[in-house]
Structure 1
Amino acid sequence: MSEIGNLGPRSVQPAGDDAVLPFEVEGLDVRGRVIQMGPALSSMLARHDYPPPVSKLLGEAIVLGVLLGSSLKFEGQFLLQTQTDGPVDMLVVDFRTPGNLRAYARFDAERVAEMEAEGTLEPAALLGNGILAMTIDQGVHTSRYQGIVSLDGSSLEDVAHTYFAQSEQIPTAVRLAVAEMMTREDGKVAHSWRAGGLLVQFLPQSEDRMRQRDLPGGDAPGGLDDEDEDDDDAWVEAKSLVSTTEDHELIDPEVPAERLLYRLFHERGVRVFDPTAVRDQCSCSRERIVGVLRSFSAEEITESIEDGAITVTCEFCGLKYNFDPAEFLS
């Protein structure tokens, strides 16, 4: 990752949409990543024709997955997946370095319609209760790492904070925003999606300064409060600045990521690095599906036949693959 330099009002060529921009604020001992998503997000959401509330929720998961997955320093895969009892019972975001991305949502259309009629379509309510799993896979010769955090009616932002407190113990602030955009072109209404995300982490040189306070153990005597600990002043300042970020600033194409970072951190000096492009790129292939089908028993192959053929549809990109059953029954 090469350094671009300190930000000034007009000092850096904007990274643009669908590009993760790493940065650091040396004066506050923080590092982070910011992204604005446009065409890549719209194409992933449009091909499934999700109801708008489902699209918005999946958009938040996509941005979170990109912010986390883009931190990998090696060739590998970052997988974010929810399993819940809510109307949207599964979200999957698959990020493969350096920037290939795919995602999908599974939902109960009737339950979503009922919630829409009742006016209760908050993202946390759509998710319900369950778990969020984050998996890092470096390849066949390494062990997978997986972190799991409970979903209990909290937003994905809140869940991300809990994940870092429990699993990484690195003070972290996350902001996510997704919006449905309507513009008029040649007398017609054009529909698209935009999203933005900001992740900031406190990473000073001294380990004593970066330790995250332990979570309550639950075994303290009744009436005894946990001992309060003051956060580092630099982290308090950084966290306060991040909290001032408005949703519209994260998604507005007129406020590129560099300008947002300058607004937040110019008094402390913010340095940006080379952006990494993010692409709507599915990893499915005929060869991979053949490998899966060859692992099926003859009985399973027979059960998969419809109208004399086996048809497999990729849940991510919607591409259909047709196979002759005889290829797997010989």
Structure 2
Amino acid sequence: MSKSEPSLRAVSDQAYDDIALPFAIEALDVRGRLVRLGPAIDEILTRHAYPPAIARLVGEAAALTALLGAALKSEGRLQLQTRSDGIVDMIVVDFDAPDRLRAFARFDEAKLVAAMPGAELLGRGHLALTIEQGSDVARYQGVVALEGQGLEEAAHQYFRQSEQIPTFVRLAVAESLTGAATNWRAGGLLLQFLPASIERQRRADLAPGDVPEGAIVPEILEDDAWAEAKALAATVEDHELVDPSLSSERLLYRLFHERGVTVFAPQSLRAACRCSDERIATMLRNFTQQERDDMVGDNGKIGVTCEFCSTYREFDPADFKESDA
């Protein structure tokens, strides 16, 4: 789950935002991470001024990406992307190790207005997780079908199908009013069952596949340690994952004190975009001259807005004119 065994951390009553906190429940052979997002997710969501329902979904996607991305090496990159026929037809979240997070969503405003309250925003399509861990490691992509389920269940399906590691995921997003402003918060909890014996990882929900009629299919019993870990984790409430006054250590103690939980050094997280003047200028040079001419606005400039951070930049078309030579 991590690139090296992190150093132990003393229990703290101080609540910190924008961190991923690794932990272990040795008695149950479980490793995990707890993510708490405050200013970082608030910056990402308020820059786009999403409607509340869309903001909550993007917040969940960002929390899930942070949970997974925090395990990468310092040069790694993880991208979560959904494509579907739902109200939200695309979400993209990037995590650039060790700490940078950015996200955006594309949605149909007319469909959102017409939808019933609480309607499912993700339709039928797919969720893809793409992992890059440096030039010496092959790029990996796992894909799961979206059939109306939420991101939590899609994450569970991903781990069942792609990683084949028993995994539990919980996500929560909340908005709070501070004065006249709305502040967004998000949290996530991830547990993975990693016993020394692979045989113990066999799960009761594995499909037996096609078998001859009348054949006896042996019953697959879920490991008691993993069943207990999931039961304890399932008691977590949404408000606990996003409570700014509850420290991550105290939350983990609430959940797992009966078995003992060890926490390690936290990893800081922040909202940060990859875009820059140089990157966009390079992108513009890859277009043909005619395409760039078509981009020129009424003010005589080429205007470009970053989908992730909403930063608007203007460029002089003369800087990209092709030489006659």
**Normalising by the residue count of structure 1, what TM-score does the alignment of the two structures yield?**
0.90
Unaligned runs of 5+ in 2: none
Please report how far the alpha carbon of residue 220 of structure 1 lies from its aligned counterpart in structure 2 after TM superposition: 3.1
Moved more, 221-230 or 172-181: 221-230
Please report how far the alpha carbon of residue 75 of structure 1 lies from its aligned counterpart in structure 2 after TM superposition: 1.1
2:289/2:321 contact within 8 Å kept: yes
Partner of 2:307: 315
Please report how far the alpha carbon of residue 191 of structure 1 lies from its aligned counterpart in structure 2 after TM superposition: 1.4
1:65/1:94 contact within 8 Å kept: yes
Please report how far the alpha carbon of residue 304 of structure 1 lies from its aligned counterpart in structure 2 after TM superposition: 2.1
In the comparison of the two structures, how many residue pairs are matched? 317
> Is the aligned partner of 1:135 residue 2:130?
yes
Partner Cα distance (2:224, 2:93) in 1: 35
SS at match of 2:121: helix
Partner Cα distance (1:325, 1:54) in 2: 36
Partner Cα distance (2:73, 2:133) in 1: 10
Please report how far the alpha carbon of residue 2 of structure 1 lies from its aligned counterpart in structure 2 after TM superposition: 3.3
Partner of 1:173: 168
Q: Percent identity?
A: 54
Partner Cα distance (2:108, 2:173) in 1: 21
Partner of 1:325: 317
Q: What does residue range 241-320 of structure 1 map to in structure 2 within 5 Å?
A: 241-307=232-298, 308-320=300-312
Deviations 1:197-250 (A, max 9, x none): 100000112222234578436533468785430111110100111111111111
Partner Cα distance (1:35, 1:321) in 2: 33
Structure 1 residues 215 and 293: CA distance shift in structure 2, 3 A: farther
Deviations 1:170-199 (A, max 9, x none): 00000001111124xxxx433111111100
Partner of 1:101: 101
Deviations 1:140-172 (A, max 9, x none): 554321000011011111000000000000000
Please report how far the alpha carbon of residue 297 of structure 1 lies from its aligned counterpart in structure 2 after TM superposition: 1.8
Deviations 1:104-143 (A, max 9, x none): 111111111111xx32x34xx1111110010012345543
2:194 to 203, 206, 212: 203
2:47/2:309 contact within 8 Å kept: yes
SS at match of 2:8: strand
Deviations 1:274-302 (A, max 9, x none): 10111011110111112211211222222
Structure 1 residues 302 and 218: CA distance shift in structure 2, 3 A: farther
SS at match of 1:321: strand
Partner of 2:6: 2
Partner Cα distance (1:111, 1:68) in 2: 31
1:182/1:191 contact within 8 Å kept: yes
SS at match of 1:127: coil
Please report how far the alpha carbon of residue 74 of structure 1 lies from its aligned counterpart in structure 2 after TM superposition: 4.1
Question: RMSD value over aligned CA atoms?
Answer: 2.0
Structure 1 residues 213 and 57: CA distance shift in structure 2, 3 A: same
Partner Cα distance (2:235, 2:316) in 1: 58
> Is the aligned partner of 1:151 residue 2:178?
no
Moved more, 225-234 or 285-294: 225-234
Partner of 1:79: 79
Partner of 1:68: 68
2:30/2:195 contact within 8 Å kept: yes
Structure 1 residues 84 and 234: CA distance shift in structure 2, 3 A: same
1:170/1:212 contact within 8 Å kept: no
Partner of 2:36: 36
1:301/1:329 contact within 8 Å kept: no
Deviations 1:85-120 (A, max 9, x none): 0111111111000111111111111111111xx32x
Partner AA of 2:258 in structure 1? E
SS at match of 1:126: coil
SS at match of 2:290: helix
Partner of 1:216: 207
2:152/2:169 contact within 8 Å kept: yes
Structure 1 residues 28 and 296: CA distance shift in structure 2, 3 A: same
Structure 1 residues 197 and 213: CA distance shift in structure 2, 3 A: same
1:151/1:159 contact within 8 Å kept: yes
Partner Cα distance (2:265, 2:80) in 1: 25
Structure 1 residues 310 and 213: CA distance shift in structure 2, 3 A: farther
**Normalising by the residue count of structure 2, what TM-score does the alignment of the two structures yield?**
0.92
